Structure 1
Amino acid sequence: MQILVLLSLGLQVVLFVFAGIRRREAFPVRRLLLWLAYLMADSTAVYAVGHLSFSSTVREHQLVAFWAPFLLLHLGGPDNITAYALQDNQLWLRHLQILVVQVLGAAYVIHKNIDGGSSGRLLRLASGLMFAVGFVKYGERTWALKCGTLESIGASVKTQPPAIHKHSHRQDEASDEEFLVRRAHSLFHVCKRAIVDSSVIEKDSVEGQEEYTTKMMRKVELWALMEIELSLMYDVLYTKAAVVHTTAGYLVRVVSPLTIAASLVLFQLTPKDGHIGADVAITYVLLGGALFMETTSLVNALGSSWTFAFLSTTRWRWLRYVALCNGRWDSLRRRVVSLHHLVKGGFPGGSSTSRYKSRRWSYIIGQYNMLHLCTRPADTLLTSPLLGRLARTLGPNGWWDRKHYSGTVKISVSVKKHISLHMGRLYKHGTLNSLGMLRKKWGEEPLDRRGLYEGILKDSLGVEFQEGIIIWHIATDIFLAKSERAKAEDAAPRVEAIVMLSDYMMFLMVDRPYMLPGQPQNRLYQRTCENLVSMPLTDDPRYPDRRHKGMIKNLFRVRDGPASGTSRASERRDLANRLYDEYASRRFSHDAPRLTYVARLAKRLLQKERADGTADSLDLVLEVWTDILVYAGNKCSRESHAKKLNSGGELTTILWLMAEHLYQVSLEEASHAQRDDDVSNATKS
């Protein structure tokens, strides 16, 4: 029993320290370890309570019964993790049922095994205090799971006002991270509306809120604002933020450490005669661990940016004046942030800006290239990685191909700027319907703007969204391989951006199809890969001469992404040229119809380049991929965006939220114009 209780405490510490890595990172190994800790924490505590309820050894070790309330406290979990996946929130009723059973079990253990006489009176009182704390904390976790459902978030949109602080504040004109965090809280109502498909401004919105939203979005870096808002949504979905930062939540945070401290004093005064020394030591460890974690939770809660949102909307004006207008909360916030920086700085990878960086996106996106995959060495004893052989033995080949031949890259500032300009142009030209969704087909807007949305270019977009990704992905590689303009030095930034977006969309299609709209095209993808691999080449790129070089390194290679040192650029160019030569002149191929579209598209782009003699073809390809990217974010299901927040987030999610904000601004501008027209008409009449 001693081992189970200490293991339960240890798992709580692991969750308390490492739960936040999901906000920025998607590394599978760390996520696997965190997942195991999450599952084991609940299982260990539940099993331990059951063991205490039926074990006969508790009578011999009476002090062990005092541990039951601590197990309830452990089931409540730390504040920074409630749900591991979005589906956990939907199971809040199951957690409520488990809560009832475990609370009754713990109460039974205390009542049955702790003597109520003079010798055990203090211990029984300490047990009662800890039982109350454990019961409240466990109930708080269950309620947080309910508040994390999309249905509850949708209900809160109408009941909770935006965190608008109308008092004068010195940081309103600042441009630092703290200002961005507070601005994100002020605009968080837009994010909540968007996540529950309720973006249209309600008629009963807060007075002046329309003008306020537009004002809040001025003079801020939209990318940073979106990242922070999504981190706030992560807090609501996967932590206790929605419950902690309420009047009841703060009251629990204040009372909990005081109650545990009182239990510690009562236990200290309890006679230890007849108790085993190891049991006494473990009890002190449990009390000390609980007191430390609850005190830390109190400090974190009071110094959290969520407290700013609470104070901005509280009905207690005197509290808002004392905390915000007098700057007392600002002082507390700075101390907590400094302490957090100091603690994080002592860990590997810690930095002086860790508190704010935890709310920012990593700007790392996945990369996957079909030609890179199809020019891989043949699976022989000399070229096939050992881990790949094991993966194929245990599971399907597709999983290994998706993981092994994918890579990552960091988005450049120029790509971010280009995406922002493209989105601004879309929303300025009124390409949205009344629900904030794009009216035109993916890729249609840049083609139509140039008068090219006819013939092969229209057909190249495909009937299904993912079909269009496959066609444009391969055609882009062919175009870049044969384009003279793409080889110019000044074209390098655009070529890099094109390859980055093309490989990213293919990565989403292959590895994360749930982040894309439309029907998955797995069979089409597999057939296209088979056609590419079977291309008759003079020098088969699947068996390059260099397969004998670095043979040991290849055997132990874990990743072979398109941007890695083994990118096989020359083999990919050879395959691209062969594809063009094979299909560009054909009328139509029933065996490989998509490759016919691919070659025709590449041919049309090359003809346009030669006719114009400018870089307009490169700009066109880049804008098409940008439009496809924005379309994917706009049309992806809100639930998929919410699910991805627990594993580092996705570029398409940031663009989806940015689009929602721009749409709100467009609605407000239209509302202003309508009011001006009404006033003008009334004046004339």
Structure 2
Amino acid sequence: MAGGRLQIEKLLPVQFLLLVSLVLQITLFLCAGVRRIDNSGGGLRGALLWLAYNSADSVSAFTMTRLWFISNSNHSLATLWAPFLLLHLGGPDNIVAYALQDKQLSLRSLPIVLTRVIVGAYFLYANGDDSGNFVLLASCLMFAVGAAKYGERWWALQKGNLGSIRDSVKKYKSTPMHRHVHPQDIVLKKVNGLDRLDEESHLRRAHSLIDVCKRAIVGSSEREKKDRHMTKMMFYVEYWTLAEMQLSIMYEILYTKAAVIHTWHGYSIRVLSPLAILASLLLYQSRLFDTAVTYVLFVAALSMESISLLNTLGSSWMFAYLTSTRFSWHLLRNQVVSLSRLVTCGRSRYQARRWSGNMGQYNMLHFCTRPDTLLTGRPLLGTLAGLVGLEEFWNRKHFSGTVNLSDHVSIKVCIGQHAQRLNMKAGGLNTLGMVVRPWAMTALSRHNLEEKFKGILGEEFQEGVIILHIATEFFLAECESASPDGDHLVKEIKALSNYMMFLLVERPYMLPGIHQSELYERICDALTKDVSHRPRSICALLRSSFHYHDDPAGYNSRANDSKMLAEKLYHRHKGQEFICETVRLTYSASVAEQLLVYQKDHGPSESLKLLLEVWADMLVYAGNKCSRESHAKKLSSGSELTTIVWLMLELFYQIDYHVHTDDNYGV
């Protein structure tokens, strides 16, 4: 037994484990920010963050256990190292939970937290006499910091879960921040010739109205009461920007320590921690071999706590906290803004609060016209994925892509207009702020087409997405040659249609209703039967065999193949009686036929505008009907377009919308 323990000590000395624990904390500190804007996983930084988060606590806890077994000559250092491990268990300020489930289990972790703090206190008690007065005093200071930070982490997990937010919304009907509008909040800039607030003013309003977002995310039905101060705050506001800013604040509440940092005790910990660590560093004196490791721990802890203090003092949360007090603090608030610019070193501090704008893209016809064998150009990696049972995963990743919303401005305008119409029209939203009509019907009713499309857009929402997606391909394949404006609308329609299919295939939890995976697979099988692959040259086959990505908008998109397949299927199913095996294709053909009739009566441009509006209706419906927990979960990986649309509709519903203009969408 003793021999085995000595062998472990040789392979994994405590000094090595301490440094590994420190490296994991630094990795968390540096990589945590990638999640708030990147919805694609974050690449290498995202992988490092996942690895660090899932191993940091285990390494720190294992190292604390190993401190029990170090030799007697090192007991004095165990007294000092244990508090450092508590500090590591407390974690950095910018990540406290990786997923929403981490917070749901926070109450169960309380006994573990208390046990580890007691173990740290035991090290002080058991080894204090052998450490010397200076080392003991340094250890006590570090223990106080470590215990406070570890306890704060647990409290942040508890305060930031949805249950606690729901309780706080019920307890505090209106926060003091809602009642403060300062002259420096009104800083205007010209956007497309119109007066708009600058980003700093948008961020302050996002903080002031954060209770609207809190109520929405926990499903509270209470509507914000009309208030002249709030009405004043909403002049010149871009609602798209405001929604993005509020979601970034909500991310901080759910996944960082923001809920407990920006309180008087949170600020006290941040001010006192660097001072206590610095005092411990000055008190600590040792000529032992392990001095270098201990000094590295001291310097790293002091640096991270000092940066944390600067970030806290320079954050928009600090400004909001000062605003919520009964004093004016004008000069101090201005100093906070100046410090925030210094902390960001000249970089745009608002960019991290804005959504990336990336919209996933997936097209069924593009997928179904793919090469299915090596002889037709199937990628080698796809063949290998099929051999090891990962073909479905490969198909989702390989045949999907992204576009950026900044290249599709008309989508933002159309969504914003549709959301505002829902709010202003009687019967658009019920008393809970939920869309009343079925999907697509609000847009169709504006053109008196509701009866013509009733019954052919599916019984379930995800079924409706599939039907309308295929119908869109049918219609665009048969649509008359349009003007340059029409080509622009086609681009916007395809982006929205492919985005909704991407959600259905890759992120079905972001759509309401029953997941229709079996229906999707059956329709894919039916579409694939009609695909015939053209002969290809050897060079083309080789290039295709080594393609890593094949997204709908890429150079290898097989647009002609998809169009030919759409034309063939449309003419086969147009006017056909409903057959059980292909009923959705018949529905899609019926939808496309009605759109072509509308085109004949009103022209290509108007029919394209109608289809874009229908897809905007589908997207707004999806965001509004999606579960609030799914929206909260998605914030941990960069948010989603449907989440922004959901919150924007909620802002329209909650706040006196009569102060708005039709162009307040942040385009």
TM-score (norm 1): 0.89
Runs of 4+ in 1 over 6 A off after TM superposition: none
| Partner residue of 1:194 out of 190, 213, 216 | 216
1:591-611 alpha-carbon deviations (Å, 9 max, x no partner): 211111111221221122123
Q: Secondary structure at the match of 1:592?
A: helix
**Cα distance in structure 2, aligned partners of 1:239 and 1:505:** 30
Corresponding residue number in structure 2 for 1:347: none
Corresponding residue number in structure 2 for 1:90: 104
**Cα distance in structure 2, aligned partners of 1:19 and 1:668:** 40
AA partner of residue 512 (structure 2): P
Corresponding residue number in structure 2 for 1:432: 429
Corresponding residue number in structure 2 for 1:501: 496
* Contact 1:81 1:240 survives alignment (8 Å): yes
**Superposition deviation, residue 150 in structure 1:** 0.6
**Superposition deviation, residue 390 in structure 1:** 3.6
Task: Establish whether residue 526 from structure 1 lines up as the match of residue 521 from structure 2.
Answer: yes
Corresponding residue number in structure 2 for 1:677: none
AA partner of residue 199 (structure 2): E
Moved more, 418-427 or 130-139: 418-427
**Superposition deviation, residue 183 in structure 1:** 1.2
Relative to structure 1, the CA distance from residue 570 to residue 49 in structure 2 (aligned partners, 3 Å threshold; closer, same or farther) is same
| Partner residue of 1:224 out of 217, 220, 241 | 241
Relative to structure 1, the CA distance from residue 556 to residue 64 in structure 2 (aligned partners, 3 Å threshold; closer, same or farther) is farther
Q: Secondary structure at the match of 1:615?
A: helix
Corresponding residue number in structure 2 for 1:251: 268
Relative to structure 1, the CA distance from residue 605 to residue 382 in structure 2 (aligned partners, 3 Å threshold; closer, same or farther) is closer
| Partner residue of 1:358 out of 352, 355, 362 | 352
Moved more, 390-399 or 410-419: 390-399
* Contact 1:24 1:361 survives alignment (8 Å): yes
| Partner residue of 1:399 out of 378, 393, 407 | 393
* Contact 1:164 1:312 survives alignment (8 Å): no
Corresponding residue number in structure 2 for 1:234: 251
Q: Secondary structure at the match of 1:163?
A: helix
**Identity of matched residues, %:** 50
Relative to structure 1, the CA distance from residue 518 to residue 232 in structure 2 (aligned partners, 3 Å threshold; closer, same or farther) is same
Task: Establish whether residue 137 from structure 1 lines up as the match of residue 131 from structure 2.
Answer: no
* Contact 2:374 2:380 survives alignment (8 Å): no
Corresponding residue number in structure 2 for 1:682: none
**Cα distance in structure 2, aligned partners of 1:176 and 1:167:** 15
1:341-365 alpha-carbon deviations (Å, 9 max, x no partner): 35xxxxxxxxx31x11000011111
Relative to structure 1, the CA distance from residue 382 to residue 450 in structure 2 (aligned partners, 3 Å threshold; closer, same or farther) is closer
Paired residues, what number?
631
Corresponding residue number in structure 2 for 1:9: 22
**Superposition deviation, residue 251 in structure 1:** 0.7
Q: Secondary structure at the match of 2:320?
A: helix
**Superposition deviation, residue 200 in structure 1:** 1.8
| Partner residue of 2:52 out of 24, 34, 37 | 37
Q: Secondary structure at the match of 1:81?
A: coil
| Partner residue of 2:198 out of 176, 188, 192 | 176
**Cα distance in structure 2, aligned partners of 1:606 and 1:263:** 77
Q: Secondary structure at the match of 1:549?
A: helix
**Cα distance in structure 2, aligned partners of 1:556 and 1:288:** 49
Task: Establish whether residue 66 from structure 1 lines up as the match of residue 63 from structure 2.
Answer: no
Corresponding residue number in structure 2 for 1:586: 576
AA partner of residue 103 (structure 2): N
Relative to structure 1, the CA distance from residue 423 to residue 245 in structure 2 (aligned partners, 3 Å threshold; closer, same or farther) is same
Q: Secondary structure at the match of 1:8?
A: helix
Task: Establish whether residue 380 from structure 1 lines up as the match of residue 374 from structure 2.
Answer: yes
* Contact 1:447 1:453 survives alignment (8 Å): yes
| Partner residue of 1:27 out of 32, 35, 40 | 40
Task: Establish whether residue 123 from structure 1 lines up as the match of residue 135 from structure 2.
Answer: yes
* Contact 1:58 1:113 survives alignment (8 Å): no
Corresponding residue number in structure 2 for 1:329: 333
Task: Establish whether residue 80 from structure 1 lines up as the match of residue 97 from structure 2.
Answer: no
Q: Secondary structure at the match of 2:359?
A: strand
Relative to structure 1, the CA distance from residue 653 to residue 168 in structure 2 (aligned partners, 3 Å threshold; closer, same or farther) is closer
Corresponding residue number in structure 1 for 2:280: 263
AA partner of residue 426 (structure 1): L
Relative to structure 1, the CA distance from residue 517 to residue 133 in structure 2 (aligned partners, 3 Å threshold; closer, same or farther) is same
Task: Establish whether residue 313 from structure 1 lines up as the match of residue 319 from structure 2.
Answer: no
| Partner residue of 1:608 out of 572, 589, 598 | 598
Relative to structure 1, the CA distance from residue 443 to residue 666 in structure 2 (aligned partners, 3 Å threshold; closer, same or farther) is farther
**Superposition deviation, residue 519 in structure 1:** 0.5
**Cα distance in structure 1, aligned partners of 2:111 and 2:541:** 57
Q: Secondary structure at the match of 1:164?
A: helix
* Contact 1:427 1:666 survives alignment (8 Å): no
Corresponding residue number in structure 1 for 2:414: 418
* Contact 2:550 2:556 survives alignment (8 Å): yes
Q: Secondary structure at the match of 1:409?
A: strand
AA partner of residue 561 (structure 2): E
Relative to structure 1, the CA distance from residue 392 to residue 59 in structure 2 (aligned partners, 3 Å threshold; closer, same or farther) is farther
Q: Secondary structure at the match of 2:178?
A: coil
Task: Establish whether residue 288 from structure 1 lines up as the match of residue 299 from structure 2.
Answer: yes
**Cα distance in structure 2, aligned partners of 1:51 and 1:65:** 13
| Partner residue of 2:505 out of 507, 510, 513 | 510
**Superposition deviation, residue 620 in structure 1:** 1.5
Relative to structure 1, the CA distance from residue 471 to residue 167 in structure 2 (aligned partners, 3 Å threshold; closer, same or farther) is closer
Task: Establish whether residue 409 from structure 1 lines up as the match of residue 403 from structure 2.
Answer: yes
**Superposition deviation, residue 146 in structure 1:** 0.6
**Superposition deviation, residue 573 in structure 1:** 0.5
**Superposition deviation, residue 58 in structure 1:** 5.2
Moved more, 157-166 or 20-29: 157-166
**Superposition deviation, residue 176 in structure 1:** 1.8
Q: What does 1:409-488 correspond to in 2, within 5 Å?
A: 409-411=403-405, 412-430=408-426, 431-455=428-452, 457-485=453-481, 487-488=482-483
* Contact 1:11 1:37 survives alignment (8 Å): yes
Q: Secondary structure at the match of 2:129?
A: coil
**Superposition deviation, residue 214 in structure 1:** 3.2
**Superposition deviation, residue 194 in structure 1:** 0.4
**Superposition deviation, residue 165 in structure 1:** 5.5
Relative to structure 1, the CA distance from residue 655 to residue 184 in structure 2 (aligned partners, 3 Å threshold; closer, same or farther) is same
* Contact 2:181 2:229 survives alignment (8 Å): no
1:119-171 alpha-carbon deviations (Å, 9 max, x no partner): 61111111111111100100000000011111111122233615236364333
**Cα distance in structure 2, aligned partners of 1:331 and 1:656:** 35
TM-score (norm 2): 0.91
* Contact 2:313 2:339 survives alignment (8 Å): no
**Superposition deviation, residue 112 in structure 1:** 2.7
Relative to structure 1, the CA distance from residue 445 to residue 382 in structure 2 (aligned partners, 3 Å threshold; closer, same or farther) is closer
AA partner of residue 302 (structure 1): L
AA partner of residue 578 (structure 2): F
Moved more, 411-420 or 133-142: 411-420
AA partner of residue 108 (structure 1): Y
Relative to structure 1, the CA distance from residue 381 to residue 89 in structure 2 (aligned partners, 3 Å threshold; closer, same or farther) is farther
Superposition RMSD on alpha carbons, in Å? Answer: 1.9
Relative to structure 1, the CA distance from residue 227 to residue 642 in structure 2 (aligned partners, 3 Å threshold; closer, same or farther) is same
**Cα distance in structure 2, aligned partners of 1:296 and 1:245:** 15
Relative to structure 1, the CA distance from residue 288 to residue 381 in structure 2 (aligned partners, 3 Å threshold; closer, same or farther) is farther
AA partner of residue 112 (structure 1): A
Relative to structure 1, the CA distance from residue 644 to residue 220 in structure 2 (aligned partners, 3 Å threshold; closer, same or farther) is same
Q: Secondary structure at the match of 1:365?
A: strand
AA partner of residue 136 (structure 1): A
Q: What does 1:338-353 correspond to in 2, within 5 Å?
A: 338-342=342-346, 352-353=347-348
Q: Structure 1 regions of 5+ residues with no counterpart? A: 343-351, 670-685
